[in-house]
Amino acid sequence: KAGVTQTPRYLIKTRGQQVTLSCSPISGHRSVSWYQQTPGQGLQFLFEYFSETQRNKGNFPGRFSGRQFSNSRSEMNVSTLELGDSALYLCASSLESSGGGETQYFGPGTRLLVL
């Protein structure tokens, strides 16, 4: 099976702009989670989508949003970019049946630099 794919891999934006990142999960996986990774904060959970519904949300401002499509592909959007949004954005997918607990597999990430 193909792994998790993320596009684009690299982005450079300026403050105030917005950005949309895309994630395609492993075939058959219905859950997609997004994480932000920075040297200072480590891996921070943004949100998780399951069957097109946001099931969990981390402690990020409303500028961070996401959605999931019927084919399980997901997008996240960051509006009004700030310098502190520079980070590696990781998408992870898992089967997440009703019992939960399954492994999450990470994509290669999108590295965002805000100038």
Partner 1 sequence: QKEVEQNSGPLSVPEGAIASLNCTYSDRVSQSFFWYRQYSGKSPELIMSIYSNGDKEDGRFTAQLNKASQYVSLLIRDSQPSDSATYLCAVKWRGSTLGRLYFGRGTQLTVWP
Using CB under 8 A, list all residues that contact partner 1: 31, 33, 35, 42-43, 45, 48, 50, 55-56, 58, 88, 90, 92, 94, 96, 100-109
Closest to partner 1 by CB, 56 or 71: 56
Min dist CB 18 to partner 1, Å, is 24
Closest to partner 1 by CB, 72 or 104: 104
Min dist CB 53 to partner 1, Å, is 11
Computed over its alpha carbons, how large is the radius of gyration of the chain? Answer: 13
Closest to partner 1 by CB, 17 or 60: 60
Min dist CB 17 to partner 1, Å, is 24
**Cβ contact 74:66 at 8 Å:** yes
Helix, strand and coil percent figures for the chain, each rounded to 5: 5, 50, 45
Min dist CB 90 to partner 1, Å, is 6
**Cβ contact 67:74 at 8 Å:** yes
Cis amide bond preceding 8, omega within 30: yes
Q: How far, in Å, CA of 14 to CA of 106, rounded?
A: 27
